[in-house]
Amino acid sequence: MRGGYAHIHGEADRITDTTIREAVTPAAGQMTAKEADLAAKWDDDAIRLRILDDGLTEARRLAGEGCACRPGCFGCCLGPFPITMHDAARLRRGLAAMEELEPARAARMRERASEAMEGMRDGFPGDWPSGALDPARADGELYARRYEMIPCPALQLETGECELYDSRPVACRTFGLAVRVGSVDLHPCRLNYAGLANEEIERRRVELDVRPGAAADPEAGQTVVAAVLRLES
């Protein structure tokens, strides 16, 4: 299972982190204590992701002008892949902002997600109604390969761009470039390093600063994007 790397995204029709905060966060003087605590947690999440994205920007620079990650390149945005429950909450927050600002666009995304989940029902490695993946199952990779051509519901196929780009999971941010997360060297997309020997690619590898809260944590539970974004029953 894999996610799509952070594309160089255009600004058109983008639901940015700033717009999300404005759409779903009450004004400071109108917040309850619980809302203020939640807002602080999302501010902390934004800081962690900016640190992570700084490392990815450096990795993209080292990849050179041949880096293929840009709007229209979305081969890595196909098929199911595991995301953390924190990623899921971030996606729901982004979708809530879209529903506030562009309800028709959000409805289309929910419909795509529902269709994707229905199409991937057979063999789901976990609890299909909730979308929760079962960590005890060993067939997740086979499941991903079986449905590897189903587009992510957040992908706008006409433009090849992610419609929830600023809310995308950590797996989507870290895929595609030669980076190290903790002790794990992620396998880079060859399109980003065409013509380079493996030794040269390794010399360009960047160690990412993935802070607690932003990293994948299977112990906290995992799901898939389509389960998060589908129509509510």
Percent of all residues in the chain with a pLDDT value above 70, rounded to a whole number: 81
Provide the phi-psi class of 182: left if phi over 0, else alpha when psi is between -120 and 50, else beta: left
Query: Is the model more confident about 204 or about 40?
Result: 204
Query: Is the model more confident about 35 or about 134?
Result: 134
pLDDT, tens digit (0-9, with 9 covering 90-100), for 132-188: 999 999 999 999 999 999 999 999 988 899 999 999 999 999 999 999 988 899 999
Q: Could you please report the per-residue DSSP string of 140-203?
A: HHHHHHHTTTSBPTTEETTTTEETTGGG--HHHHHSBS-EEETTEEPPBPGGGGTT--HHHHHH
- Partnered with residue 218 across adjacent β-strands are none
Q: Could you please report the per-residue DSSP string of the chain?
A: ----------STT---HHHHHHHHS--GGG--HHHHHHHHHHHHHHHHHHHHHHHHHHHHHHH-TT---STT--GGGBS---EEHHHHHHHHHHHHHHHHH-HHHHHHHHHHHHHHHHHT-TT-SEETTTTEE-TT-S-HHHHHHHTTTSBPTTEETTTTEETTGGG--HHHHHSBS-EEETTEEPPBPGGGGTT--HHHHHHT-EEE---TTTS--GGG-EE-HHHHHSPP-
Contacts of 72 (CB under 8 A, 6+ apart): 159, 160, 161
pLDDT, tens digit (0-9, with 9 covering 90-100), for 80-120: 999 999 899 999 999 999 999 999 999 999 999 999 999 99
CA-closest candidate to residue 178, choices 163, 167, 191, 166? 191
pTM: 0.81
The structure tokens listed for 77 are 């945005």
| pLDDT grade for 46, boundaries at 50, 70 and 90 | confident
Q: Is the pLDDT of residue 19 over 80?
A: no
Sequence ranges of the domains in the chain? 17-229
| pLDDT grade for 5, boundaries at 50, 70 and 90 | very low
| pLDDT grade for 32, boundaries at 50, 70 and 90 | confident
